[in-house]
Amino acid sequence: MISYGRHQFPGKLFVVEGTDGSGKSTQLALLHQWLKAEGYPVFFSEWNSSPLVKDTTKRAKKRHLFTPASFSLLHATDFADRTERDIIPPLKAGAIVLADRYIYTAFARDVARGCNRDWVRAVYSFAVKPTMAFFFRAPLDIAIDRIVSGRPNLKYYEAGMDLGLADDPEESFTIFQGKILEEYDRMVSEFGLTVIDASRSIERQQREMRLMISQHLNRRRSKSN
């Protein structure tokens, strides 16, 4: 088994991370359009998308079957399927893989749920190290506002209701997201995440990302010449 940091593939992997409502999916969709238009083979992969695990996750969320540890392991199972199916093969084939949420989502959420930091990192050590990981950092109140105003009610696990932080879902969500943000902040230096200020305009964030990404793409082209 090849572990984090050791994989060597011709393709490139760019991931976006951040709390809910930070605007990362919008930015990734714009990147996708741009890279396709530039003629690159692009493959998109998102969190919680394994066809093998989907039904189990859905049922467990609905019936509140998770503990922090089983929540962590089932999401790791989902991620392993994505890695084996959607991430490694396209990277081997030289494609650009865009991932909406990656291992850092698990690290932030699971640790906020009370799992051991080292244990969660060990579980995910099979992951491919991204070429670049963008962390969309939005002030907590803005992120919460975007989520709460966009949806009629917060989901049980999303609001961290399983942790008994507060009886009110919105209050629980706010506390939980605060813990998640703390974990993300710790990971910036640990994993060299690229911080994007998500409070600026969409256009400006996108320009910044394209500039940074094109450096990796140019380098690859000149190598093959």
Residues interacting with other proteins, by CB under 8 A?
1, 3, 50, 52-53, 55-56, 59-60, 65-70, 72-74, 76-77, 80-81, 83-85, 114-116, 118-119, 122-123, 125-126
CB 116 → other proteins: shortest distance, Å? 5
C-alpha to C-alpha distance for 191 and 110, rounded to whole angstroms: 17
Which CB atom, from 72 or from 131, has the smaller least distance to other proteins?
72
131-148 burial, b if ≥16 CB within 10 A, otherwise e?
A: bbbbbbbbeeeebbebbb
CB 194 → other proteins: shortest distance, Å? 27
Which CB atom, from 70 or from 215, has the smaller least distance to other proteins?
70
Alpha-carbon 175 to chain mean position: 20
CB 103 → other proteins: shortest distance, Å? 13
CB 5 → other proteins: shortest distance, Å? 14
CB 73 → other proteins: shortest distance, Å? 4
Which CB atom, from 82 or from 101, has the smaller least distance to other proteins?
82
Which CB atom, from 14 or from 66, has the smaller least distance to other proteins?
66
Tokens, residue 124: 């995910």
Which CB atom, from 73 or from 217, has the smaller least distance to other proteins?
73
